[in-house]
Amino acid sequence: MHALKFLRLGFLFSVVISSQAFAQEEEILKRRLLMESNNDAATKAIREAIKEKNFPEIQVKAKVVMENMDKVLDFFPKGSTSEKSRAKPEIWEKWDEFSQHPGKVKKAAQELADAAKSKDEAGVGAKYKALGEACAACHTTFRGPRKGS
């Protein structure tokens, strides 16, 4: 009888652990997609719009980055790492520092949008560079190297 209880307890424990692991993988996927949308859908599009002097497009794509920065911290629940994730444990060890980065990126994106609204070509170039530096500052400290598939 005790063996049966032990098996049931072990099964329940494995179900709980499996569901927690699945939830973490889901969060990791969500944040990867969010970051990819910043890189692919927004910053690459901004780079092209700068070449074309398409100031309205720059403003729209900068707004996408700002909106993503409003959500990004939600996708880093404590301990959400895996072999596929590039998130370093330092994120949660230095949460106060980490949690300041989205605001810095959002500010840089807002300044880029403002320069685009003014049709300030030189300012747009400088603010685009500043946006890249704001993103890189976080990635340098809190993102690990690419991992194998």
Domains and CATH numbers, the chain: 22-142 (1.20.120.10)
Per residue of the chain (149 residues), give pLDDT as tens: 555 555 555 554 444 444 445 556 888 888 888 888 777 778 899 999 999 999 999 999 999 999 999 999 999 998 888 887 899 999 999 999 999 999 999 999 999 999 999 999 999 999 999 999 999 999 999 999 887 64
Rg, C-alpha atoms of the chain: 20
Single pTM value for the model = 0.80
Nearest to 98 by CA among 39, 66, 138, 140: 138
Six token digits for residue 48? 């092209």
Nearest to 101 by CA among 47, 145, 141, 58: 141
